[in-house]
Amino acid sequence: MTERVRIAAAGDIHAAEPHRERLLTAFAGVADDADVVLLAGDLTTHGEPEQASVLAEACASADLPVVAVLGNHDHHEDRAEEVADVLRDAGVAVLDREAAIVTIGDAELGVVGAKGFVGGFAGSSLPDFGEPLLRQVYDETTDEVVAIERGLQKISHCPLRIVLLHYAPTVETLEGEPVGIHTLLGSARLAVPIAEYQPDLVLHGHAHAGSFEGRIGETPVYNVAVHVTKRDFYVFDLPVTPGRSEVEVHTRRA
């Protein structure tokens, strides 16, 4: 009977040809420490399919299930679907406002994947008011929030539930970033369904100068951007049994 699940997480890998060997080495060795890999966006440097192919090769070498979301860098060249298709062809589950269930032994790990978006936090947030273009930005974040809620409903039966984002859902993991750009790094609105459905873990990236750990109610939130963790992966060791009270955090430097 599966009692624990080990999750190797990383964000903001920014894959490109110069990083090929480093990524191959990191992913080839991660199976020794983890049961599944979760990637929190900015998978490529500029959102080019050729850069995605570098990461796709590395993911294929991991011999583990890999679940990912895209980030703002992956959208930069307006070829996000091509980037996602390259990764999917390599067996990566790229989630875009979707939920997936990964079976590990006899345990089911539910993952809700969404990019998230901007909007800010208490004291500095974008309103649903004014020019149509500004309101479109607000609506885009709304769609992400709705997707997170629906995803959490779909995986409610899973003994382990994780929300995988790129943008931050709490200001706590932005500490270290200039306050003036917090509006561009995430949105407190993303936290609403998380607070309601209380998943076991939330992972995000994007904030390179942010902080590692925060919380939304009782749910721990981790900024797993490699610039923050200073490691190829952080490994989270989660008990499957009900009544768990904490997440054990282990590190791996490939």
- Is 249's pLDDT higher than 80? no
pLDDT of res. 241: 73
- Which CATH superfamily groups domain 4-252? Metallo-dependent phosphatases (3.60.21.10)
pLDDT digits (tens, 9 = 90+) for 84-138: 999 999 999 999 999 999 999 999 999 999 999 999 999 999 999 999 999 999 9
- Return the structure tokens found at 224: 């797993």
Mean pLDDT of 17-22: 96
pLDDT of res. 242: 56
How large is the greatest C-alpha to C-alpha distance in the chain, in angstroms? 56
Q: Is 150 left (phi over 0), alpha (psi -120 to 50) or beta?
A: alpha
- List, in order, residues 6 or more apart from 107 with CB less than 8 Å away: 2, 5, 159, 160, 240
Closest to 67 in 3D by CA, of 107, 25, 114, 19: 114
Burial class of residue 97, CB neighbours in 10 A (0-12, 13-18, 19+): middle
With a pLDDT cut of 90, the percent of the chain lying above it is 93
- Is 212's pLDDT higher than 60? yes
pLDDT digits (tens, 9 = 90+) for 30-60: 999 999 999 999 999 999 999 999 999 999 9
Q: Going by DSSP bridges, is the β-strand pair 233-239/219-223 parallel, antiparallel, or unpaired?
A: unpaired
Mean pLDDT of 200-225: 98
pLDDT of res. 2: 87
Q: Give this prediction's pTM.
A: 0.95
pLDDT of res. 1: 84
Q: Going by DSSP bridges, is the β-strand pair 160-164/107-113 parallel, antiparallel, or unpaired?
A: parallel
pLDDT of res. 208: 98
Q: Locate the domains of the chain by residue range.
A: 4-252
